[in-house]
Amino acid sequence: MWKIVSVFLVILIITSIVWAEYADGTARPPGDKQVPRAYGRDWLLSLRNRATPTPGLLEEVPDHLRARKRPRKRGRRGGIQQRLRRRHGKLPLPSIIFSNARSLRNKLDELRLNTRICHDYQESCLMIYTETWLQADFPDQLAQVQGFTNVRLDREGSSGKKRGGGVCVFIKDSWCTNYVVKDKATLCDSAFPFSLSSVWWKKKKKKKKKKKKKKKKKKKKKQKKKKKKKKKKKKKKKKKKKS
């Protein structure tokens, strides 16, 4: 224990002496007889232009190392999206954002923020939202987004349902301004949602049938395996009896 304390005291004494002599950060000139223990910032910066390159250093480097070059700079992000964004020419196809909003009223602030900050929303030509749940009491002015024009179609009573539904499309002004909106009477059909539901139910039934077939096949395989095991056991018992 005393050895550790003595070593610690010696270190403290040495550091206090060095700190007292070189606390101001100044260094002795290079011609001084005493070896400098600390170097100031100004003196180190003065050595910047004094260094001379050694001519024989580059000759020692092999040619195959000198000719090797990196294919691209380090730190660049990869991926298909980054490559497409770095292209100078625009793509022929428009960029579209399609989403199931489920009540667009409480998401308009987030949408406006994304069009200002997010690159994908800023460069999108169309933003299509289904299940907006908007009704006639919600005016178009409240659903506006800067740089986009709003075209929407709410669910009406003629569809046979009162809640849910609705489609809203945001068209970018810099991409397209010459467009035509058809009448709601030609677009809205009372049989349309029911036809969709019937197709969905048919697909769902088909999936159930496939699952049932798979289960039956598994059961048959298990039954066959059990029968084979029983036959093997019977054969073994017969052999034992004969022996």
Q: Kindly state the percentage of the chain with pLDDT values over 70.
A: 60
Structural tokens at position 33: 């007889």
pLDDT of residue 231: 80
* CB contact at 8 A, 173 and 153: no
* CB contact at 8 A, 108 and 79: no
Q: Of 110, 103, 115, 91, whose CA–CA distance to 170 is shortest?
A: 115
Categorize the per-residue pLDDT at 112 as very low, low, confident or very high, splitting at 50, 70 and 90: very high
Instruction: Inform me whether the pLDDT recorded for 178 exceeds 60.
Output: yes
What's the rounded mean pLDDT across residues 111-130?
A: 90
pLDDT of residue 91: 59
What's the rounded mean pLDDT across residues 190-197?
A: 43
Worst-scoring range by mean pLDDT, 46-55, 138-147, 223-232? Answer: 46-55
Q: How far apart are CA 34 and CA 28, in angstroms?
A: 8
Residue with more model confidence, 152 or 5? 152
Categorize the per-residue pLDDT at 214 as very low, low, confident or very high, splitting at 50, 70 and 90: confident
What's the rounded mean pLDDT across residues 223-243?
A: 78
pLDDT of residue 195: 37
Q: Kindly state the percentage of the chain with pLDDT values over 90.
A: 5
pLDDT of residue 72: 60
pLDDT of residue 57: 56
Instruction: Inform me whether the pLDDT recorded for 196 exceeds 80.
Output: no
Stated as kind and residue range, the H or E segment containing 81 is: helix 80-86
Q: Tell me which range, 133-142, 202-211, 225-234, is most confidently predicted by mean pLDDT.
A: 133-142
Instruction: Inform me whether the pLDDT recorded for 87 exceeds 60.
Output: yes
Q: How far apart are CA 201 and CA 15, in angstroms?
A: 84
Q: How far apart are CA 97 and CA 66, in angstroms?
A: 49
Q: Tell me which range, 14-23, 99-108, 152-161, 200-209, is most confidently predicted by mean pLDDT.
A: 99-108
Categorize the per-residue pLDDT at 232 as very low, low, confident or very high, splitting at 50, 70 and 90: confident
Which phi and psi (to 5°) does residue 170 adopt?
-110, 115
pLDDT of residue 202: 42
Q: How far apart are CA 14 and CA 220, in angstroms?
A: 88
Categorize the per-residue pLDDT at 2 as very low, low, confident or very high, splitting at 50, 70 and 90: low
The string of pLDDT tens digits covering residues 26-48 is 545 555 555 555 777 887 777 77
